[in-house]
Amino acid sequence: MDTVIIREINEANLAKAGETIRGGGIVAFPTETVYGLGASAYDAEAVKKIYRAKGRPSDNPLIVHLSDVSQVEKAAREIPETAQKLFDSFAPGPFTVILKKQPDIDDIVTAGLDTVGVRIPSDPTARAFIKAAGVPIAAPSANISGKPSPTCAEHVLHDMTGRADAIICGGNAKVGVESTIIDCTGEIPTILRPGGITLEDVISVCGKGQLDKHVLSSVSANEQPKCPGMKYKHYAPDADVTVVEGEKSHTERIISDMVQEYKRKGNTVGVLAMSDIDFGADLQISSGKNNKEFAERLFGALRKFDDRGIDVVFAQFCMEDSYGLAVKNRLYKSAGNKIIYTEKK
């Protein structure tokens, strides 16, 4: 398939991208969290193309993207008070609300569920593109299934050239991890996936909120998680990742020892480090000075380790702050839950 690459973002080009969507095509586009791969949420055949392009399991539903809060009724048939408060306070922004689905949204979008994830991105290009399309846009992250989500145009060009009808090349994703998913269909708003909007944010506007039990723990074979995406190994780079978590100096000591040991065994070793000491690895990438920067850099770093053919990566996690949960959730998944705690839990 020929992919149209849109490098200049202007009204005429976004109108063309919107036309591609209405004609049943699939278009990759930037958002403030990660890049998405979109199709009309009303068009089952177009949505099937997304699943095929990504190699995504068909029981994993897609999020529906809208340009404005006034459009939510196009996707959802009920807006509970908690959801309204979240939209009033944080939309447009890096979160998704799970609501009861409108029948017009094709079942293939929601993988047969009676609920739908609704998201209004804040990225101006995303909003202009969705507006130009004139229909709700069903979109997962624009990566090949199982690979780290794309946070810049190069990642999308790498994964989706020849697979998408068009790619809109915007800037770097500012948040860097996918949206917070908040289930508002029950009494207490429940975070199914942590992200840029935190539990504290949810509690501050709704007066209540909780984390789903699968936010940090893995899903066992006989469980059916609320968020189907939780059961898949996500964000897995080719490298074998281990998280080293705990007090900074303890994590430094363990990582330094591990780097030497694995190099001795003949592996190429990478470190994703919050400390600025030299760990003696083949490739060391800084995760920044706090978890907000870590989130922004994480997926790009995982891709860089793969580009360089690194076998083994140690990721240092030594700071708990408001973005900590979003970072840890992605790190644990990319490590397939291989975690070394330097202190007793």
List of residues contacting ligand TXA (CB under 6 A): 31, 33-34, 36, 60-63, 96, 98, 110, 113, 115-117, 119, 139-141, 178-179, 181, 192, 226-229
Closer CB to ligand TXA, 210 or 260, in the complex: 210
The one-character DSSP state at 261 is: H
Collapsed DSSP state (helix, strand, coil) of residue 190? strand
For residues 232 and 254, what is the distance between their CA atoms, to the nearest angstrom? 29
Candidates 12-20, 135-143, 161-169, 219-227; binding stretch for Mg ion (CB under 5 A): 135-143
Is the CB of 132 or the CB of 215 nearer to Mg ion?
215
Q: Which does 62 bind (CB under 5 to 8 A by kind): Mg ion, ligand TXA, none?
A: ligand TXA
Identify the residue among 82, 102, 141, 316 touching Mg ion (CB under 5 A): 141
Name the strand (E) or helix (H) holding 2: none
Cβ 323 to ligand TXA, closest distance in Å? 14
For 186-214, letters b (16+ CB in 10 Å) and e give: eeebbbbbbbbbbbebbeebbeebeebeb
To ligand TXA, the closest distance from the beta carbon of 11 in angstroms equals 22
Which of helix, strand or coil describes residue 139? strand
Of 157 and 236, nearer to Mg ion (C-beta) is 236
**151: contact with Mg ion by CB under 5 A:** no
Q: 225 touches which of ligand TXA, Mg ion, none (CB within 5 to 8 A by kind)?
A: none
User: Shortest approach of ligand TXA to residue 29 CB, angstroms?
Assistant: 8
Choose among Mg ion, ligand TXA, none what residue 31 binds, the Cβ cut-off being 5 to 8 Å by kind.
Answer: ligand TXA
Q: What's the one-letter identity of residue 84?
A: Q
Amino acid at 167: I
Query: Smallest gap, in angstroms, from Cβ of residue 67 to ligand TXA?
Result: 13
Would you say 233 and 336 are in contact if contact means Cβ atoms under 8 Å apart?
yes
CB 214 to ligand TXA: min, Å: 10
Cβ atoms of 94 and 176 closer than 8 Å = no
State which residue, 179 or 251, has the beta carbon closest to ligand TXA: 179
Helices (H), the chain: 11-22, 44-54, 81-90, 124-133, 153-160, 199-206, 248-264, 291-307, 324-334
Give the footprint of Mg ion on this chain (CB under 5 A): 141
